[in-house]
Amino acid sequence: MMCYQCEQTKGGTGCTEIGVCGKTPEVAALQDLLIYTVKGLASLAHHARMAAGIEDQEVNTFVNGAIFSTLTNVNFADDRFVEFVNDSRRLHAKLSAKLAAAGVSLPASASESQPWFGSMPHPLAWNSQAAALGGVGDMIEIGMQTGIAARQEVLGETLAGLQELLTYGLKGLAAYAHHAEALGHTDAKVYADVQESLHFLCSPAAADLGAVLDHCFKAGATNFRVMEMLSVAHTSTFGHPVPTPVSLNPVPGKAILITGHDMHDLHLLLEQTAGTGINVYTHGEMLPAHGYPGLKKYPHLVGHYGGAWYRQKVDFASFPGSIAVTTNCVLDPLTAYKNNIFTINETGLSGITHIKADASGHKDFGPIIRRALELPGYTAEDVQRLPKKKDVTVGFGHNAVLSVAPQVIDAIQSGRLEHIFLVGGCDGSEPQRKYYSKLYQYMPSNTMVLTLGCGKFRIFDQDFGNLPGTNIPRLLDMGQCNDAYSALVVATELAKVFKTDVNSLPLSLDLSWFEQKAVAVLLTLLHLGVRNIRLGPRLPAFLTPEAVGVLVDKFNLIPANVADPAADMKMMM
């Protein structure tokens, strides 16, 4: 196997024997095969759209969901990937039949293989092969021929890495688009853009570095659209977030913990547990849910539990209820809680019960509820014994922040607020990430910090006080990683007031990345022309020094100085 799609990749170069995340070589091969077959399906869908105006909603939804399943820490279950690959081929046959019925044939070039597919045909041609696939063993063998190695050999490390940058950006934006779709919000242009880019990666033009970079920034533009769509999906369904204190202390009673990004699932769970006496706790990226009026109104959404994703083996092992996993990040479970954890949507773990939606889209969380009722939950003694923690405040989406904008502007103009930091992104377990914890210690008291993503767990429970002369907290959490959209809205509005651009504001972006959603957000920021972004804790392994050089020249992208956060702080001020 060879995978270098996330920040924790082995030795900063690539996982080759087993993933640091726990991904096995078998699952890695199946994921590679899935991306390969989906490239073929997307190429066909792109052709069907362009040549015959055919849209197939099942294909559109599938493409985004399938590539989302290969994102880091989403799915480790080989049987699920076998299903995905079979579904891709089934949908390919269905769409081919539609094209044939419309009398539209494929141009010969549509299935001309490219040298970087090695011994494999063009993915579209492979999908069209009539031969039924064997079992999982055969798929793994074929999948092993569809990895990065052939692309690196033919295209060189820089170009192959930039193709991966595009693929990973697409994974992130497809995931966000899929979250929006769960709430009934879709955008035909987003499906078309994703599929056009996958088609592009199978075309001779993808051997041109400039064309690949252009597609990366185009993916950034598409992701901006997607983050906006997701923000609208959340706010139109659940209302705009409002500042809300969240308890970190348990209450007596049966308990369910829900993790990941999918607010729709949280809503379903709250509905299905209403009146059962079970209390629901958020975990990880679900923390911002407490700020949404349409979710916080449920009295049995009682609080938040645990820290960032990488601590979940410790946190989940001591949770006395069942655990619902809606999206990334999930890790291979310990025996201690194997029987308590359930996966939903694109997530998957070998040997763990997966909750599937029925044909009408309904998800029955009965198994999660029944398990919660079997488990002890929190007793009054537990609650008494556990150390009491202070509440944290969430809910500073763009509406809430813009409502205090006049005070913030006044503070900037009068010199009481010198600088704003956006410290957003993912968390992780590496020691270098202490840089982010330390960075906050060096922030002068006349500064503010906006956080988003699971990186906030380094400081979310600390008291930064208020901005001098106001009752506005110095630390405002804007939400999930996709709420980078909210940060962009706020920055753009501030720039308008000061009659300048975002790059000229007293604002610094210091981003921590881990997985491919963060890659999509970065591409959006670059597409918008945001400069001087600090990125850490390590630069992506898939970008060679030559590729990094291009981004440094064009955008002054700055590697975080993880060894010296004080020096970074000085430079940002």
Q: Are 295 and 238 in contact (CB under 8 A)?
A: yes
Q: Are 367 and 342 in contact (CB under 8 A)?
A: yes
Q: Cβ 341 to ligand SF3, closest distance in Å? A: 16
Q: Cβ 285 to ligand SF3, closest distance in Å? A: 5
Instruction: Give whichever of 98 and 311 is closer to ligand SF4, judged by the CB atom.
Output: 311
Which of the choices ligand SF3, ligand SF4, none does residue 254 contact, using the CB cut-off of 5 to 8 A by kind? none
Instruction: Give whichever of 59 and 518 is closer to ligand SF3, judged by the CB atom.
Output: 518
Q: Cβ 482 to ligand SF3, closest distance in Å? A: 7
Instruction: Give whichever of 342 and 378 is closer to ligand SF3, judged by the CB atom.
Output: 342
Which of the choices ligand SF3, ligand SF4, none does residue 453 contact, using the CB cut-off of 5 to 8 A by kind? ligand SF3
Residue nearest to ligand SF3 (CB): 426
- CB-based burial label for 492 (10 Å; 0-12, 13-18, 19+): middle
Alpha-carbon gap, residue 435 to 178, rounded angstroms = 33
Instruction: Give whichever of 230 and 494 is closer to ligand SF3, judged by the CB atom.
Output: 230
Query: Nearest Cα to 167, choosing from 60, 62, 35, 44?
Result: 35
State the sign of the Cα–Cα–Cα–Cα dihedral 283, 288, 291, 297: negative
Which of the choices ligand SF4, ligand SF3, none does residue 520 contact, using the CB cut-off of 5 to 8 A by kind? none
Q: Cβ 167 to ligand SF4, closest distance in Å? A: 13
Q: Cβ 537 to ligand SF3, closest distance in Å? A: 13
Instruction: Give whichever of 6 and 372 is closer to ligand SF4, judged by the CB atom.
Output: 6
Which of the choices ligand SF3, ligand SF4, none does residue 4 contact, using the CB cut-off of 5 to 8 A by kind? ligand SF4
Instruction: Give whichever of 64 and 72 is closer to ligand SF4, judged by the CB atom.
Output: 72
Which of the choices ligand SF3, ligand SF4, none does residue 518 contact, using the CB cut-off of 5 to 8 A by kind? ligand SF3
CA dihedral 550, 556, 562, 568 (to 10 degrees): 170
Instruction: Give whichever of 368 and 520 is closer to ligand SF4, judged by the CB atom.
Output: 520
Instruction: Give whichever of 27 and 454 is closer to ligand SF3, judged by the CB atom.
Output: 454
The amino acid present at 177, given as its one-letter code, is A
CB atoms within 10 A of CB 130: 5
CA distances (Å), origin 169, targets 10, 141, 215, 219:
21, 27, 10, 7
Q: Cβ 326 to ligand SF3, closest distance in Å? A: 11
Instruction: Give whichever of 22 and 366 is closer to ligand SF4, judged by the CB atom.
Output: 22
The two tokens of residue 252 are: 């007596």
Which of the choices ligand SF3, ligand SF4, none does residue 481 contact, using the CB cut-off of 5 to 8 A by kind? ligand SF3
Q: Give the interface with ligand SF3 as residue ranges (CB under 6 A).
A: 73, 261, 284-285, 309, 328-329, 426, 453-454, 480-481, 514-515, 517-518
Alpha-carbon gap, residue 174 to 438, rounded angstroms = 33
Instruction: Give whichever of 326 and 516 is closer to ligand SF4, judged by the CB atom.
Output: 516
Instruction: Tell me: cis bond preceding 202? Omega within 30 of 0 counts.
Output: no
Which of the choices ligand SF4, ligand SF3, none does residue 3 contact, using the CB cut-off of 5 to 8 A by kind? ligand SF4
Query: Nearest Cα to 514, choosing from 533, 534, 538?
Result: 538
Which of the choices ligand SF4, ligand SF3, none does residue 514 contact, using the CB cut-off of 5 to 8 A by kind? ligand SF3
Q: Give the interface with ligand SF4 as residue ranges (CB under 6 A).
A: 3-6, 8-9, 15, 19-21, 23, 72
Instruction: Give whichever of 267 and 517 is closer to ligand SF3, judged by the CB atom.
Output: 517
Instruction: Give whichever of 429 and 500 is closer to ligand SF3, judged by the CB atom.
Output: 429
Query: Nearest Cα to 368, choosing from 263, 260, 266?
Result: 266
Place of tokens 């599929």: 195
CB atoms within 10 A of CB 320: 16
Q: Are 328 and 286 in contact (CB under 8 A)?
A: no
Query: Nearest Cα to 565, choosing from 528, 523, 537, 531?
Result: 537
The phi, psi pair for 57, rounded to 5°, reads -60, -35
Which of the choices ligand SF3, ligand SF4, none does residue 426 contact, using the CB cut-off of 5 to 8 A by kind? ligand SF3
88 strand-pairing partners: none
CA distances (Å), origin 390, targets 81, 463, 470, 471:
43, 9, 22, 19
Q: Cβ 28 to ligand SF4, closest distance in Å? A: 6
Q: Cβ 328 to ligand SF3, closest distance in Å? A: 5
Q: Cβ 307 to ligand SF4, closest distance in Å? A: 20
Q: Cβ 10 to ligand SF4, closest distance in Å? A: 6
Cα 116–Cα 119–Cα 124 angle in degrees, nearest 5: 75
| SS3 state at 557 | coil
Query: Nearest Cα to 135, choosing from 88, 90, 81?
Result: 81
Which of the choices ligand SF3, ligand SF4, none does residue 19 contact, using the CB cut-off of 5 to 8 A by kind? ligand SF4
Q: Cβ 191 to ligand SF3, closest distance in Å? A: 22
Residue nearest to ligand SF4 (CB): 19
Which of the choices ligand SF4, ligand SF3, none does residue 329 contact, using the CB cut-off of 5 to 8 A by kind? ligand SF3
Assign residue 529 a region (left: φ > 0; alpha: ψ between -120 and 50; beta: otherwise).
left
Q: Cβ 538 to ligand SF3, closest distance in Å? A: 14
Place of tokens 């019925």: 101
Give the end-to-end CA distance of the chain in Å, rounded to a whole number: 44
Instruction: Give whichever of 4 and 436 is closer to ligand SF4, judged by the CB atom.
Output: 4
Alpha-carbon gap, residue 111 to 95, rounded angstroms = 15
Which of the choices ligand SF4, ligand SF3, none does residue 27 contact, using the CB cut-off of 5 to 8 A by kind? none
Place of tokens 């599938």: 62
Q: Cβ 316 to ligand SF4, closest distance in Å? A: 19
Alpha-carbon gap, residue 354 to 541, rounded angstroms = 33
Which of the choices ligand SF4, ligand SF3, none does residue 88 contact, using the CB cut-off of 5 to 8 A by kind? none
